[in-house]
Amino acid sequence: MTENQHRSRDGFGSKIGIIAAAAGSAVGLGNIYRFPCEAGNNGGGAFLLVYLFIVLVLGIPTMLSEFIIGRKAQRNPVGAFRALAPKSAWPLVGFMGVFCAWILLSFYSTVSGWTLEYIVKAVGNDFQGKELAAIERDFSDFHNLGWRNVMWQSVFIFLTGFVVFNGVKKGIERYSKILMPLLLLILIILGVKSLSLPNAGEGFRFLFHADFSKITGKVLISALGQAFFSLSVGMGALITYGSYINKNDNLATTALSVTLSDTLVAVLAGVVIFPAAFSFGIQPTAGTGLVFNTLPMIFNQMQGGYFFCIIFFVLLAIAALTSTISLLEVMVAYLAEELRITRKLATVLASAATLILGVFASLSLTGDTKFVVGRRPLFDGLDFFSSNILLPIGGLLTVVFVGWFMGKRKFFGEITNEGQLKLKMKGVILFIIKYIAPVLIAAIFINCIR
């Protein structure tokens, strides 16, 4: 690719634009839906502690590595590895990322569809005055209507395709900037409410009291998978976004801001969900129902709950959308640049491929489903495979590539903007990327599969 072509690539207009877009990718259902589920299933406080450690020590370096690869190479994940390591097998890592995006988006769009169903329920004042049992019944009835899940999922994939269709800058930047801070605000309001409920202390303790004996191999790999999932790292989404980052932006502080915002939202979601769930008598291990049943119950108890409920689910849908955009973008950038087809055609193809697998993911959650792997619904299988296997492997290979194969000169050049930035920590950062991150990721991963 020539310099000219580089310049003609769609980019982010401002620093806040890229932070907003990357944070938009990171903040999503992973924080508000998946984080409480995983924490609930893995012992609460012990999980949170491991999670925070992993985000700090493994998440940030992996995110930074993706930004470095993307901005240096100015390509989609496959093209980026090919540009930086010609005639090697590294492009396969990028390819694995594109494949992972497809799987992730297929089941992610199922849950995204639920947010639309819940907007409709909220507007129709469907929760008001209902007992927990009724709210739980409605949720499982909805699960059993496979076609309705598929309908909302299709709508959501269409929305995602629509934004991606219209290009990176116009599409992504505009939507993320204002709405994510609003989501944060509403989470704070909900957190205050949740903590004031009777018996809330028990849920709070569940989340913040770490019982070290509960840290098992499964907790470690679940926390690793959740951390990478939540930060959107391990499959090249941030290589793709990195390729749009301005040459003068500070990659390290960008990675730090994105990580901090993402983690703040996840912990806040925990503060909203667990005290309320314990107060209402919802088990922390309830899985899908944990979040989707607890939230309406909170709104039920609130002054102005009707409006808060609508606003919340609208914002949640938008948070999901800024994440699905980044997943679809990985597939689209790959198809458009590698197969040399137009962005529009690439968008249509990637959306169609997602819907095909996604339908099975959605239908696997109905009570009488035939779509199971092992004894679990296909939905869970896709989630487990992508989050706990593909993302850790992808993340591992990414840090190994940057630490060992890209070359020190290129690394320091990219992280300091060719010497413009005085980054005191740059040696430490390289050390973490080169030694600590790969060893720890590999150790957690091997400890779990052996």
Residues making contact with ligand TRP (CB under 6 A)? 25-26, 28-31, 104, 229-230, 232, 235, 237, 323, 326-327
Helix or strand run (H / E) with residue 377: strand 376-377
* Residue 115 C-beta: closest distance to ligand TRP, Å: 12
| Nearer to ligand TRP among residue 260 and residue 372 (C-beta) | 260
Helix or strand run (H / E) with residue 376: strand 376-377
| Nearer to ligand TRP among residue 18 and residue 200 (C-beta) | 18
Residue in 179, 198, 177 with CA at minimum distance from that of residue 187: 179
| Nearer to ligand TRP among residue 243 and residue 279 (C-beta) | 243
| Nearer to ligand TRP among residue 29 and residue 378 (C-beta) | 29
Rounded Cα distance, 67 and 122, in Å: 39
Residue in 233, 240, 234, 231 with CA at minimum distance from that of residue 330: 240
CA distances from 223 to 149, 257, 340 (A): 28, 20, 38
* Residue 26 C-beta: closest distance to ligand TRP, Å: 5
* Residue 62 C-beta: closest distance to ligand TRP, Å: 11
What are the residue ranges of helices labelled H in 391-436? 391-400, 408-415, 426-431
| Nearer to ligand TRP among residue 327 and residue 396 (C-beta) | 327
Residue in 324, 191, 178, 209 with CA at minimum distance from that of residue 267: 191
* Residue 370 C-beta: closest distance to ligand TRP, Å: 28
* Residue 102 C-beta: closest distance to ligand TRP, Å: 11
Residue of this chain nearest to ligand TRP (CB atom): 30
Tokens representing residue 201 in the block: 């202390």
| Nearer to ligand TRP among residue 74 and residue 226 (C-beta) | 226
* Residue 230 C-beta: closest distance to ligand TRP, Å: 4
* Residue 100 C-beta: closest distance to ligand TRP, Å: 7
CA distances from 246 to 11, 14, 18, 51 (A): 7, 8, 9, 31
Q: Residue 302, SS3?
A: coil
| Nearer to ligand TRP among residue 105 and residue 252 (C-beta) | 105
